[in-house]
Amino acid sequence: MTNTDKKMITLRYLAGSAMLMLGVLGFYLGGLWTWLGTAGFILLVILDVALPRNEALAEVESGGFQHAVLYFQLPLIVALWLMFAEMLSMGSGSLLEISGAIFSISFLSALGGLPPSHELMHRYGWFDRFYCTLYLTIFLLPMNDLGHVKGHHLNVATSKDSDTPRRGEWVYTFAFRSLWGQLMESIAIEKSRLQKNKKPLWSLGGRFLQSIIISAIWLSIWFSIAGIEALPVYVLTMVVLYLVLGGFNYTQHYGLIRLIGEPIETRHSWNQLKPLSRALSFEISNHSEHHLKPTRFYTDLNPYPDAPQLPSIALCFVCAFIPPLWEKKIVRPQLAIWDQTMASEAERKLAHEANIKAGWV
């Protein structure tokens, strides 16, 4: 691979920042330009579907720029939210303009915030973990990294995992079941940690109280600009945002099955190996390798083309919100292959029971 090729691979990880800058431009221009971020997302879906699969290893250095790019997107997300607050404070936006702002900020916050925060929550450095918390605070979920790292990664694809969608479960219910499950698991993990040190959950040195404080600071800043009369719009935006977050999370393990206590293997995660999927997600679309080695740097993840495969993340996200299309055209055919060729005998039995419960047989 030439140096030029390596530079192009490196630059593709700026795709998320570019999408966010597009959204900032739309808010700056105002009016119907608030739909610009949503339009960019639609274009991304089309491009990702059209591009061929990319099963090659990234083959770029796992440091320097590749590390710094993880920090670029938070200031842009914060700028988007503050511009949104300013727009609402002026009270001049039409229903169509505000709708554009809600959808654009929801898509771009999830697209720009979820992948880098996910990468950073698997690091050991205190600043990386703190920066992850700042990302998650935008979602009002500043301590959910605990449930992900110490819950999901242990229980993935089992009945104990709130982040694994059940067969037949719609994204509309999964999004909120998953968020609530992760929140409760995060609180339980932190409570257990504090009890070992003979401290209460509300201890000032604990993540629970710190999460409430940092969320309150963020909300105070936002509402000091938007005004308390913007509360209904804010609540609606968060509902849409949580659906979008759930939609992206939905496709990572949908319908896959693992017995509790059995080893995690490559077959327990879906992989989505389109170029834009890989770039925008910071390679988390190489999901099988990530669950085998959660702390491995994103550019070092192996694609595993023989592991379970789905189309592009963007396409799967859109189709997930149309359940008949998602089930019949995308995931059920792939799950049938998984059941027949990848599942263990015990998993195949549980899969058959899950298919019956889902009404598929």
Helix (H) or strand (E) holding 347: helix 345-358
d(CA 294, CA 126): 17
Cα–Cα distances in angstroms (integers) from residue 214 to residues 109, 124, 207, in the given order: 18, 21, 10
Q: What is the pLDDT of residues 73-106, one digit of tens each?
A: 999 999 999 999 999 999 878 999 999 999 999 9
For 17, which DSSP code?
Answer: H
Q: How many of the other CB atoms lie within 10 Å of CB of 29?
A: 11
Contacts of 261-266 with CB under 8 Å at 24 or more apart are 262/344, 262/346, 264/156, 264/157, 264/291, 264/292, 265/292, 266/292, 266/304, 266/306, 266/307, 266/308
pLDDT reported for residue 9: 67
pLDDT in tens, the chain (361 residues): 555 555 666 788 999 999 999 999 999 999 999 999 999 999 988 999 899 988 888 777 777 888 999 999 999 999 999 999 999 999 878 999 999 999 999 999 999 999 999 999 999 899 999 999 999 999 999 999 999 999 999 999 999 999 999 999 999 999 999 999 999 999 999 999 999 999 999 998 899 999 999 999 999 999 999 999 999 999 999 999 999 999 999 999 999 999 999 999 999 999 998 988 899 999 998 999 999 999 999 989 988 888 999 988 889 999 999 999 999 999 999 999 999 999 999 999 999 999 999 999 8
pLDDT reported for residue 2: 57
Q: Among residues 159, 158, 157, 136, which one has the least CA distance to residue 146? A: 136
Q: How many of the other CB atoms lie within 10 Å of CB of 235?
A: 10
Instruction: Give this prediction's pTM.
Output: 0.94
Q: What is the pLDDT of residues 246-270, one digit of tens each?
A: 999 999 999 999 999 999 999 999 9
pLDDT reported for residue 12: 87
Cα–Cα distances in angstroms (integers) from residue 238 to residues 232, 235, 243, in the given order: 10, 5, 8
Q: Among residues 73, 79, 155, which one has the least CA distance to residue 113? A: 73
